[in-house]
Amino acid sequence: MSPLEIWLVILMLILLNAFFSTAEFSVATSRKSKLEQLALAGNKNAQRVIDLGQTPTKFIAVIQVSVNIIAIVSGIFGDKSFSPAFQRFFEWVGLNPPLSETLSLAASVLFITSLFILFSELIPKKMAFSHPERVACAIITPLLFTLKVFGPLVWLLSFFADLILRGLKVSTQRDENISFEEVSAIITQGAKSGLLERNEHHLIENVFSLTDRTVLSAMTVKSEIIFIDVNDGQQDINDKILSHPHSRFLVADSELDNLLGYIDSVTLLKNIIARQDATLSREKLKEQGLKSVLTIPDSLTLLDVLDRFRETRQDIAAIVNEFGMVVGLITLNDVLGTLMGSVSHPMNENELIVKRADNSWLIDGRAPVEDMKRLFAWDELPNQNYETVSGFLMYLMKCIPKKAQSIEFRGIRFEVVDVDGYRIDEVMATISTDKDKGVDAATRPPDAQV
């Protein structure tokens, strides 16, 4: 054969091998969700790729049969075509014939292998890597034709392969289910690449956190609830309305555990204007505008609360514990505030975590522990049976902490700034200069100094 004919055969073999390499890579890495979108848009080849992916054994078999046939042909052809030329070269440089023959065989194999690796493996696969779905749709027709040509042989090989795999109890079905970790990784990658804005990223993260955070992390605690007592006089009610301009007030008999319902501030003001009296009577509560309040257990997640609000068409709920005692109050705005996070009020003076200039953070004890985990990039915390930063530090310190008491955890030094009764009101978090001294509550001895 002439040199031109040799190179034409080599080129044809390289192109064939490149086609099958591209087909294998593009079909295997195509995302089913994106193919389904293309199919809905009217791309018939996308559906054909999806159908082919449902029978991976046949697809892999036709690729392997084709690639191996090409490899055998190229090996035979390359040895006969290039070995004599390499042998003449080695003899020309002065090597003896036996050594020249051995080296020429190795050189021809290396030369052919390099050509095939470069032009029929690396380059085609890199080209298909950026848009596997588009490439798969483009080559599906000739690929299916090849599948028909090698149909009988492929069926026989697939039969034995499936038989062996069933004996080994290995499933041949591809798992297309997407895990939460995969979705989270895609979102994080989208934020890093600039596809998602910072606020959009935080919003999506907060949506996912609704299933992990309980109502305790977003509620107004019992000690901070301003309620109307049925025994309150007119002046007491007036003072509460003026001092706490809420749209609604819970109504209870002496204490919150004797909860009766809630009343709108507008109703109270109308009563004051109409009859100069807003006091409540136990016998006429409904006539005076009292409404029943939704009660929910403290074990519900924020997503559960949203479902309850939607089902009952209410947007306020009292939270009770397993002993039937009221422990807090939550509204739809509380849940939405948790969802929006710093998106809606980035400069809110009531922000629970405030960054300081000296590489430290002033943290409100009521701040959700999930926000702290996100701040310090912590995945898990030990024995997380707490919802707030205050509960987290009490767990670490194994006591009700006092003002100026401190502890280190994973390189962060927490110092109690203020205490409100038995609850941590504010804490200062500072990155420790010596992270080796960080204390993990899971390993801290009971008598450790805090």
Same fold yes or no, 215-340 and 353-437: no
Looking at residue 277, its pLDDT comes to 67
The yes-or-no verdict on residue 224 having pLDDT over 80 is yes
Q: Which of 90-94, 193-197, 208-212 has the lowest mean pLDDT?
A: 193-197
Looking at residue 288, its pLDDT comes to 78
Output the CA angle 260-262-268, nearest 5 degrees: 120
The yes-or-no verdict on residue 137 having pLDDT over 70 is yes
Sheet containing strand 294-297, strands side by side: 220-221, 326-331, 316-320, 294-297
Whole-angstrom distance, CA of residue 219 vs CA of residue 318: 9
Looking at residue 98, its pLDDT comes to 82
Q: pLDDT grade, residue 435 (50/70/90)? A: very low
Scanning the structure block, which residue is given the tokens 């809110």? 348
Write down the mean pLDDT value for the chain. 80
Q: Does 3.10.580.10 match the CATH number of domain 215-340?
A: yes
The yes-or-no verdict on residue 226 having pLDDT over 70 is yes
Looking at residue 330, its pLDDT comes to 93
**pTM here?**
0.53
Q: Does 3.30.465.10 match the CATH number of domain 353-437?
A: yes
The yes-or-no verdict on residue 182 having pLDDT over 90 is no
pLDDT tens for 367-408 read 888 888 888 888 788 877 788 888 899 888 888 888 889 999
What percentage of the chain exceeds 90 in pLDDT? 10
Torsion of CA 312, 335, 380, 401, to 10 degrees: -110
3-state SS, residue 90: helix
Looking at residue 271, its pLDDT comes to 77
Average pLDDT value for residue range 52-68: 76
The yes-or-no verdict on residue 80 having pLDDT over 90 is no
pLDDT tens for 327-355 read 999 999 888 888 776 433 433 445 788 88
Going from N- to C-terminal start, the domains of the chain cover: 3-167, 180-209, 215-340, 353-437
